Amino acid sequence: MEISSEDVKKLREKTGVGIMDCKNALKECNGDFNKAMEHLRKKGIEVANKRSGRQTSQGVVGSYIHMGGKIGVLVEINCESDFVAKSDNFSEFVKDIAMHIAAAGPDWVNRDEVPAAELDKEKEILKEQALKSGKPEKILDKIVEGKLTKFYSQHCLLDQPFVKDGDKTIQQLLDELMGKTGEKCVIRRFARYQLGEEI
C-alpha cells in the first residue's frame, strides 16, 4: 500500500515520533491514521516497559511562573542520558508539565505517594456517600474503587488529564515522550507555590 507523505507528516505532527516510525506505523495499519496513532502509543509504552529498570540520573529542573508572579512551579524530570535531557522533545515536555502543574495544582506525582491516612479518609467519605444514596452494601467496595479513580485524577499528576489536551493523561504524555526518546523518563518531584496560600 502506498503511504502519502502528507499522512506521514500529519502523523509526525500529531505524535512527535520520527518520520520512518510514522511511515512504518501507517504501513502496518494499512493507512488507517487512528490505528497508526494507537500503534505508536503502544510501541512507546513497550519501550518504556523494557527500560523500567534503567537508571535515570540525568534530566532537568524546569520552572514556570504564571499570572505575573502569583503562581510558581519547580519540577524535576529525569532521563537516562544528557543527550536526551538537552533534546527539544524533552525540553518541551518539561515546559508543558511545569505549566500543567501551575494550572491543575496536583498534590502528588503518583498514586503511591498518597499518604495512607489520606486514602483511608477518602475511602471512608466515599463509602458513607454510597450508603446514604441507598446503594447495596455488597457493591460498596466496587463503587468506592470507581470513585477513587476520580480522586486520583484530581490529585495525582500522572492521572490528571493534560490541560492542553484533555484526551490524554500526563502518564500517556510521559509514555509518548519515552517512545520518542527511546529512554526511560521519570517525573521525580515538583513544588508549586501560590502567592498568599498559607496566609
- What is the predicted pLDDT for the residue at 139? 83
Instruction: State the amino acid at position 181 in one-letter form.
Output: T
Same domain, 63 and 100: yes
Same domain, 99 and 125: no
* Mean pLDDT over each residue of the chain, to the nearest integer: 87
Query: Coil, helix or strand for 27?
Result: helix
> 45 pLDDT exceeds 60?
no
Cβ(71)–Cβ(65) under 8 Å? yes
Same domain, 164 and 103: yes
Residue 199 lies in a domain: no
| Cα dihedral across residues 51, 90, 41, 148: positive or negative | positive
- What is the predicted pLDDT for the residue at 185? 92
CATH number of the domain to which 32 belongs: 1.10.8.10
* Angle, vertex CA 54, rays to CA 50 and CA 56, nearest 5: 130
Q: Which residue has the higher pLDDT, 71 or 20?
A: 71
Residue 67 has φ and ψ, to the nearest 5°, of 55, 50
Residue 43 lies in a domain: yes
> 124 pLDDT exceeds 80?
yes
| Cα dihedral across residues 53, 182, 98, 149: positive or negative | negative
- What is the predicted pLDDT for the residue at 26? 86
User: By residue range, what is the domain housing residue 78?
Assistant: 58-109+156-194
The label of the residue with cell 527500560 reads 51
CA–CA gap between residue 173 and residue 161 (Å, rounded): 10
Same domain, 184 and 95: yes
| Per-residue model confidence as pLDDT tens digits over 60-84 | 999 999 878 899 999 999 998 899 9
- What is the predicted pLDDT for the residue at 48? 58
- Residues linked to residue 189 through DSSP beta bridges, in sequence order: 76
Same domain, 176 and 135: no
Please list, in sequence order, all residues whose beta carbon lies within 8 angstroms of the beta carbon of residue 131, skipping any fewer than 6 positions away: 137, 140
Same domain, 20 and 93: no
Please list, in sequence order, all residues whose beta carbon lies within 8 angstroms of the beta carbon of residue 72, skipping any fewer than 6 positions away: 63, 64, 65, 66, 102, 192, 193
- What is the predicted pLDDT for the residue at 163? 96
Same domain, 163 and 105: yes
Residue 91 lies in a domain: yes
Give buried/exposed letters for 88-124 (b at 16+ CB in 10 A, else e).
ebbeebbebbbbbbbebbbebbbeeebeeeeeeebbe
pTM check: above 0.85: no
